[in-house]
Structure 1
Amino acid sequence: MTVSEEINLIIGSLALLVGLLMFWTFPIIKTTEKNGQLFPLLSIIIPARNEAGRISPLLRSLQEQHYQSFEVLIVDDHSTDQTANIARSFGAKVLQNKAVDSGSGKSTACWHGAQHAKGQWLLFLDADTSFTDADSLFKILGFYHRKGARGILSLQPYHTVHRLYENLSAIFNVIVFVGMNVFTIWGSAFKAAGSFGPSIVCNKKDYFLAGGHHKILGAVMDDLALGQAFMDNNLPVYCMGGSGVITFRMYPEGLKSLVEGWCKSFAVGSKSTHPVVMAMIILWITGGFMSTAALISSIMVFNISGMASSGLLYAAYALQTLRLARRCGNFNRWIFLFYPLLFLFFSAIHLYSLFRAHVLHSVSWKGRKIDV
C-alpha cells in the first residue's frame, strides 16, 4: 500500500468518526400525555405563493386532527394559481399579502398573518408540510406546553421522497440538521444557528416582543433570522426533528426547483454555522471523497490488501451516510451505494450558492430575484 493510499485511509477513518460526533443526537417529540388536554387558542398561519398543487394535503391533515381548537389563516402571497380558492374550499380564512418588496415575500406574509391572528399561540407552517397522524398537533402543542410555552419550538419535517432525483437532497438534509449547531455530541454547548423554518410554534407575546417577522423582512433565511431575534431577547429556541409528527415533500416540481431551493438556503445559511461544526462538516465530506479515492486507487493497481481495507471504509461510509440521511427522510437505501455522487452534487450546489451570494449578490426562488 502506497503512502498516499494510507493517508487517504487515515483521513477517511477519522472523518467517519467525525460524522458520528457531528450528528450525535436527534431529538424528536414523544408525548406521554393523554389526548384531550386544552391549550390556548392556536392561530395556524400558512404563507402560500402558487401552492395549489401542494397545499391540499396540509389542509386535509388539519381537518383530521383530534385537537381542533385553532383557526387557519392562509396568507396568499401574490399567487397566480388557484391557491386561494383551494384554501377556501377547506374552510380556511384567506388573507391577501399586498406588500411588494424586492426581498423574500414569506416574512411579510407571516407578519401579515400574525397581525390578524386571534390565538394566544401561533403556528407558522410551510404550505408543503402535512401532519403525520391525527395526534400530531396535540403532540407538538403538548411538548411546547411542557417546555413552559416560551420562545420557539421549531421542527424540521421528515422529508418524503417520491421520485429518483429527489434523493439528491439527502446530504443537504443532513447538513441542515448539523448546521444548526445543537445536534453534535456537545449538545447545547454551541449556540443554535436559529430555528427551522417549515414549522414554528411560539406564543404571540414572545413573537411581538422579539419583533416577529417584521424585524427580519430583509433576511433571505427567515428561519435562522427569526430564531436569532428570539435569542437576542433571551427567549429559548428549541430545534427538533419532525419524524413521526410532521412531514413534507421538497421540490416536487423538478430538478431546477431543487437546485434553486438549496442554492437559496445555502447561500447565507452556512454563515450561522459554528466554525467547529463547519470544520467537522468539511472533514466529513472530504473523508468521503478520500475514501472513494483510496478504493479506486487500490483497484487500479490491483492491491488486494488495499482493496479490502478501502472497501471496508467505503462500505462504512455508505452505511453511516444512509443512517444519518434516513433520520431526515425516506431516501432510497440503494442510492447510498453511490454516496460519492451525493457528496459531489452537494459540493457543486454549495459552490454555486457561494458564487450567487458573493459574486452575483442574488438568488432566485419562485419567480423572484432575492438580493443577498
Structure 2
Amino acid sequence: MTASEVINLAIGFLAVMIAIIMFWSLPVPILSSSKNTGLPFLSIVIPARNEGGRLSPLLQSLQEQRFKQFEILVVDDQSTDNTVEIAQSYGANVLKNEGSGKSSACWRGARHAKGSWLLFLDADTAFTNLDGLKNLLNFYQGKGARGIVSLQPYHTVDRLYEHLSVIFNIIVIVGMNVCTIWGARFKTAGSFGPCILCNRDDYLLSGGHKKIEGEIMDDLALGQAFLDHNLPVRCLGGKGIISLRMYPEGLSSLIEGWCKSFAVGSKSTHPVIMLMVIIWIAGSLISTGALISSIIELDTPAIIFSGVLYILYTIQTAWFARRVGNFKWAVFPFYPFLFLFFTGVYVYSFFRVNVLRSVKWKGRKINV
C-alpha cells in the first residue's frame, strides 16, 4: 500500500470511531404504567396546508388513544384540497389561519386552545401506541411540566426513493447536540418540530409562535425562545410512541422539503458536532474511493483493509438509521449513494439560502 492509501484508510477508520461518539445514544421517553392521574386537559394543535392525503392516520390514532382528555384544533393554512373536510369528519375543530405559514397557524391554534398544556403536531405524524399520548404526558409531568419536551418521530418509509432521506434523518437528530457521548454538555440547538409539548404559561412567556413568525426553522427558533427564558428544552426520539412518513408524494417533494431547511438548520449545530458530522461524511466517500482504487490496482492488502472499512461503514450507517426509522437493511451496502445524495441536496440548499435567498415549499416561495 502507498502512503496516501494508508492515510485514507486511517481517516476512514477514525471517522467510524468519531461517528460512535457523535451518535452515542438517542433517548426516548420512559414508558410509564401510570394512570391518567393528575394530567390536565390538553389542546392538540395541528397546522395543516393541503394535508388531505396525510391527515387521516394522525386523527385516527388520536381517536384510538386511551387518554381522552383533549381537544383537537386543526388550523387550515389556505388549503386547496379536502383538508378541512377530512378534519371535520373526525370531529376536529377547524380554524382558519389568519396569517400565512406554520408559525402563524400554530399561534392561531394556541390562542383558541382551552387546555393548560399544548401539543403541536405535524399533520404527517401518527401515534403508534394506544398509550403513546399518555406516556408522553406522564413523562412531561415527571420532568416538572416545564419548558418543552419535543420528539423526533420514528420515520416510516414505504417506497425505495424514501430511503434517500436516511442521512438527513440521522443528521437532523445528531445536529440537535444531545446525542453525543457527553450527553447534555452541549446546549440543545432548539426543539424538534413535528411533536412539541409545553404548558400554556411557559409558551406565552416565551412569546410562542408569534415571536418566531417568519422563521424558516420554526422548531429551532421556538426552542431558542424557551431557552432565552431559562426554560428547559428536551429533545428525544419518538420510537414506540409516534411516527411520521415524510414526502410520500415523490422525489421532487423530498428534495424540496430537505432543501427548505437544511442549510439554515445546520447553523444551529455546535461547531464540535458539525466537525464530527463533516468527518463522518468525508470518511464515507474516502472509504468508497479507497475500495475502488484498491480493486483497480489489484492491491491485495489494500483490498482487505478497505473492504473491512466499507463493511464497517455499511453496518454503522444501518445501525444509526434503524434508530431513527424503519429503513430496510438491503439499501445500506449502497451507502455511498445515500451520502452523495445528501451532499448534493445540502449544496443545493446552501446555494438557495445564501445566494438566491429563497426556498420553495408547498407552492410558496419563502424569502430567507
TM-score range, shorter chain: over 0.9
Name the counterpart of 1:360.
Answer: 356
Deviation at 1:265, TM superposition (A): 1.7
Deviation at 1:4, TM superposition (A): 1.4
Deviation at 1:33, TM superposition (A): 3.1
Any conservation in 1 of the 2:41–2:69 contact (CA below 8 Å)? yes
Name the counterpart of 1:13.
Answer: 13
Alpha-carbon distance in 2 for matches of 1:166, 1:198: 18
1:263 aligns with 2:263: no
Deviation at 1:5, TM superposition (A): 1.0
**Which letter maps to 2:121?**
L
Extract unaligned runs of 5+ from structure 1: none
Provide Cα deviations, 1:158-214, integer angstroms capped at 9, x if missing partner. Answer: 000000000000000000011001111111111110000000000000000000000
Q: How does 1:59-78 map to 2 (within 5 A)?
A: 59-78=59-78
Name the counterpart of 2:127.
Answer: 131
Name the counterpart of 1:160.
Answer: 156
Name the counterpart of 2:189.
Answer: 193
Alpha-carbon distance in 1 for matches of 2:183, 2:210: 30
Alpha-carbon distance in 2 for matches of 1:89, 1:32: 32
Alpha-carbon distance in 1 for matches of 2:119, 2:272: 32
Any conservation in 2 of the 1:78–1:98 contact (CA below 8 Å)? no
1:147 aligns with 2:143: yes
Deviation at 1:226, TM superposition (A): 0.1
The TM-score, its normalising length taken from structure 2, stands at 0.99
Provide Cα deviations, 1:53-83, integer angstroms capped at 9, x if missing partner. Answer: 0000000000000000000000000001110
Provide Cα deviations, 1:291-330, integer angstroms capped at 9, x if missing partner. Answer: 1111111100111111111100100011000000110001
Deviation at 1:50, TM superposition (A): 0.4
**Which letter maps to 2:241?**
V
Provide Cα deviations, 1:14-66, integer angstroms capped at 9, x if missing partner. Answer: 00001100001110122233233341110000000000000000000000000
Alpha-carbon distance in 1 for matches of 2:98, 2:234: 32
Alpha-carbon distance in 1 for matches of 2:89, 2:32: 35
**Which letter maps to 1:236?**
P
Provide Cα deviations, 1:189-244, integer angstroms capped at 9, x if missing partner. Answer: 11110000000000000000000000000210000000000000000000000000
Secondary structure of 1:95's counterpart equals: strand
Provide Cα deviations, 1:112-144, integer angstroms capped at 9, x if missing partner. Answer: 000000000000000000000110000100000
Alpha-carbon distance in 1 for matches of 2:28, 2:235: 9
Alpha-carbon distance in 1 for matches of 2:166, 2:31: 28
1:329 aligns with 2:286: no
Any conservation in 2 of the 1:33–1:142 contact (CA below 8 Å)? no
- Residue among 247, 253, 266 paired with 1:251: 247
Name the counterpart of 2:201.
Answer: 205
Secondary structure of 2:145's counterpart equals: coil
Name the counterpart of 1:80.
Answer: 80
Any conservation in 2 of the 1:48–1:74 contact (CA below 8 Å)? yes
Deviation at 1:94, TM superposition (A): 0.2
Secondary structure of 1:251's counterpart equals: coil
Alpha-carbon distance in 2 for matches of 1:318, 1:71: 45
Provide Cα deviations, 1:235-288, integer angstroms capped at 9, x if missing partner. Answer: 000000000000000000000000010001203000100110000000000011
1:219 aligns with 2:215: yes
Secondary structure of 1:370's counterpart equals: strand
Name the counterpart of 1:277.
Answer: 273
- Residue among 165, 169, 174 paired with 1:169: 165
Deviation at 1:98, TM superposition (A): 2.5
Any conservation in 2 of the 1:251–1:257 contact (CA below 8 Å)? yes
Aligned identity (percent) is: 63
**Which letter maps to 1:56?**
S
Alpha-carbon distance in 1 for matches of 2:89, 2:38: 27
Secondary structure of 1:50's counterpart equals: coil
Aligned-CA RMSD value: 0.7
Extract unaligned runs of 5+ from structure 2: none
**Which letter maps to 2:228?**
D
**Which letter maps to 1:45?**
V
